[in-house]
Chains A and B, each alone.
Chain A
Amino acid sequence: MTSLKLPALLTLAFLLPVAGRAAEPIKIGVISEAQAVAGASIAPAAQLAAEEINAKGGIDGRPVEIVAYDDHSSASDAVRAFQRAVNEDHVQAVVASYVTEIALALQPWADRLKTVTITPGAASDLIPEAIAKDYAHNRYYFQGFPTSSAVAHMVCDSAKDLLVKHLGMQTAVIMSEDAAWTLPLDATYESCLPPAGLKPLDHIRFSKDTTDFTPIFNRIEALKPDVIITGVSHVGVQPTVQWKNQQVPLPMYGRSSQAINPVFWKDTDGGAQGVIMQAFAAPDVALSPKTIPFAEAYRRKYGAFPAETGYTAYDAIHYIADAVHRAAGATDADTLAAALEKTDYEGALGRIQFLPPGDPHAHALRVGPGFVQGVMMQWQDGKQVTVWPASLANGEMRFPSYIVTKR
């Protein structure tokens, strides 16, 4: 069988488009998940970025070429795609996956195959912690997305303004899926909510395979908190719809990755009404002068607004190009990684900088005012309305009638 299959593979390799060597394009591999809403924007956004760069004459005359792969949300598939990208298609850098499992699985391979790799969507703190712990082996890996602890901090900061100061809330219950990515998130919630003025009454972790959320909501309600602080990603549609159907009289507030996607309203059949979620980008919020033009360009080209990972992937292609330019066209992994570490680029997400090697979160995005900052959005009548920070807000919080807030 081996003898039968190999020629077929080799033939295929020849059939793959090989750009003329003379133009020396910069090839960037993009590994993503087209079937998942969160992953579907990655490749198109990267493609858009490449076209923009090429329209302006490329990187010092060299065009950027995107080679896209689908990993079907499987880590072993992604590893194979990574090997193909590096060894077969000879890409100079890889942008790969919003799934933490896959991002972590690719981390050792970035070192083994000496290729700069950026995740446009995996939030786990473990990624930069691994880089900090073993910088020598993980220095080619960058986290192009804020960490979950950064997410939690942002939720706490906004909650202080929106929930405590504005609505006079005092207590909360943390509701998160039982997953490794929520461990740092929950730990940060527990430590940052009390200073923000919200006392966590309980902390409910549930299996991410849960389909019936009634017991969870009933347990939470029995504790009589003012708000539910969420940490969900694998689930989203189901708790939201059941929250609405059961008319749970408490607002949901926090990280809910699926809720950020523009299609969430449709998927929940409007059940999302009133849900407040943290996001790093939104189509109509000018986080930087580039945000809205990108979102509009994306919609013109693909017919819908990008998901959150679209913004990060778009930026990633741009700052890779920027790094190649600063490295005077050198694309070997060491030079490129060194150049990326010095990134200071204004992207659609805000000002992009990576934390330096000495930091416990090395190669993670720098987060905070003036950098990547994010927003709090609320679903209102099919639209995502930005409610925080005040400088970017384009609406006020509103809740469905069954939700009782103090003020």
Chain B
Amino acid sequence: MLVLQILIDGFAIGALYALGATGFTLIFGVSGVLNLSHGALMVAAAAAAWAAHTEGAMGSLASAAIGLTVGVALALATFRLVVRPIQRSPAIRAEEREIFILTATLLWGILIQEAIASLFTSNAKTVPPLIGGVTLLFGVRIPRNEILTAILCWAVIGILWLWVNRTRTGKAVLAASMNSRGVILLGIDLSRIHVAVWAVYGLLAGVAGVLLGMFLGVSSYSVGPLTASAFSIVVLGGLGSVYGSIMAAYAVGYLETMTAYLVSPAYRFIPALLLLVTVMYVRPHGLLGRR
């Protein structure tokens, strides 16, 4: 019974973590950007969906759509207003771009967080679930929405996989993540690819944010922890490796869940953090790191 509970609960959490981290790693893979406003994007999407439902009296699906739109819009804004000006700035040397992008996206994340707090207060919000009720699975009572969340997460990851492996744009994106110069050589417009990737990233972050808002709820305080968790998972899995991220997401999800069940919910995060430190020492480039 306990084993089943851990298995099921960890599965849903892992799926959410995986979805959140996939976009983060995608953006790093293609444009080399560690977007520290990641958590802010997720929370903004969730908050927008919440507001559309409670303030705008929209249905679950419509408000979720509003959340996704906000996610995409903010991701594109992040790219246009923050990342690209820095990448193109003649005053910033190439080797210093990393610190500048980290600092600027952090600040951008704080801006979004403050805007959310001002508009909707810092209280936690929950997006209305797409479906209600609970169901019994092997004797374990699970909210239907939790099952739907896990399914949706995997569906989105699956669609992403199809997009990257089956469509022209997707393939160009994949190619750009391996060798951006090779893409230019073939006359494929890299800047359009970047826009496409940021849009897809926004969509992923939006879906992750809205689902998180349904499943667990978010507040403006979640911005930092969400960014930190995506960052950890992605680094644990190996930067730029989507498979690594998914693996790491489940490792962290199950470790946290097991700690909460078997040790104490008060220590929930500690084993995962220790795991992270250990992996950094043993495999400095993550579980599936390339180099």
Question: Which A residues form the contact surface with B (CB < 8 A)?
Answer: 35-37, 40, 73, 178, 204-207, 209-212, 214-216, 218-219, 222, 235-238, 241-242, 245-247, 258, 261, 263, 266-269, 271, 402
Q: Is the CB of A247 within 8 A of B134?
A: yes
User: Contact between B216 and A238 (Cβ–Cβ < 8 Å)?
Assistant: yes
A178 to B219 CA separation, bound complex (whole angstroms): 19
A237 touches B124 (CB 8 A): yes
CA–CA, A266 to B142, complex, Å? 24
Q: List 14 A-B contacts (CB under 8 A).
A: A35-B114, A35-B121, A178-B266, A205-B266, A207-B268, A212-B260, A214-B9, A237-B125, A237-B219, A238-B217, A246-B146, A267-B125, A269-B128, A402-B134
CB distance from A167 to the nearest CB of B (A): 23
| Residues of chain B within 8 A of A269, CB atoms compared | 50, 53-54, 126-128
- Which among A207, A212, A222, A235 is the interface contact of B124 at CB below 8 angstroms? A235
Interface size on B, residues (CB 8 A): 44
Docked pose: A258 CA to B124 CA in angstroms: 9
Task: Specify the chain B residue showing the minimal Cβ separation from A241.
Answer: B126
For B121, give its contact among A37, A216, A235 (CB under 8 Å). A37
- Flag if A241 contacts B217 (CB, 8 Å): yes
CB-nearest residue of chain A relative to B16? A212
Q: Identify the closest chain A residue to B217 (Cβ).
A: A238
Task: Judge whether B124 and A206 touch: CB under 8 Å.
Answer: no
B9 & A207 in contact (Cβ 8 Å cutoff): no
B184-225 at interface with A (beta carbon < 8 Å):
216-217, 219-220, 222, 225
Contacts known (A207-B267, A207-B268, A209-B225); A36 close to B121, Cβ less than 8 A: yes
**A247→B143 contact, CB < 8 A:** yes
Bound CA–CA A221/B83 (angstroms): 48
A214-B9, A241-B217 known; A207 and B125 CB under 8 Å?
Answer: no
Beta-carbon nearest neighbor of B6 in chain A: A215
In the complex, are the beta carbons of B124 and A238 less than 8 A apart? yes
Report yes or no: B217 in contact with A237, Cβ–Cβ below 8 A.
yes
Beta-carbon contact of B268 and A210 below 8 Å: yes
A207-B268, A241-B217 as given contacts; A40 in contact with B121, CB under 8 Å: yes
Q: A35-B121, A35-B220 are in contact. Are A246 and B126 (CB under 8 A)?
A: no
Q: Which of A215, A238, A268 contacts B9 (CB 8 A)?
A: A215
How many angstroms between the C-alpha atoms of A237 and B215 in the bound complex? 12
User: In the complex, what residues of B have CB within 8 A of residue A207's CB?
Assistant: 265-269
CB distance from A214 to the nearest CB of B (A): 5
In the complex, the answer to whether A215 meets B129 with C-beta atoms within 8 Å is no
Q: Could you list 9 further interchain pairs (A-B, Cβ under 8 angstroms) beyond the known A216-B265, A237-B123, A246-B146? A: A206-B266, A207-B269, A212-B13, A212-B257, A219-B265, A245-B129, A267-B125, A269-B126, A402-B134
The answer on a CB contact under 8 Å between B217 and A211 is: yes
Provide the B88-126 mask, 1 if CB < 8 A to any CB of A, else 0. 000000000000000000000000001001100111111
Q: Give every chain A residue within 8 A of B257 (Cβ-Cβ).
A: 212, 215
- Report yes or no: B122 in contact with A36, Cβ–Cβ below 8 A: yes
Within 8 A of A (CB), among B220-277: 220, 222, 225, 256-257, 260-261, 264-269
Measured between beta carbons, the chain B residues less than 8 angstroms from A235 are 124
- Asked whether A211 and B222 contact (CB < 8 A) given A40-B121, A267-B123, A269-B54, the answer is yes
The answer for the CA separation of A99 and B116 in the assembled complex, in Å, is 20
Which of B13, B117, B121, B125 is packed against the most chain A CB atoms within 10 Å?
B121
* Least Cβ–Cβ distance between A86 and chain B, in angstroms: 27
B9 touches A212 (CB 8 A): yes
Q: In the complex, A216→B257 CA distance in Å?
A: 10
Which residues of A are found within 8 Å of B260, using beta-carbon distances?
A: 206, 210, 212, 215-216
Q: Which residues of B in the span 1-47 have a Cβ within 8 Å of any Cβ on A?
A: 2, 5-6, 9, 13
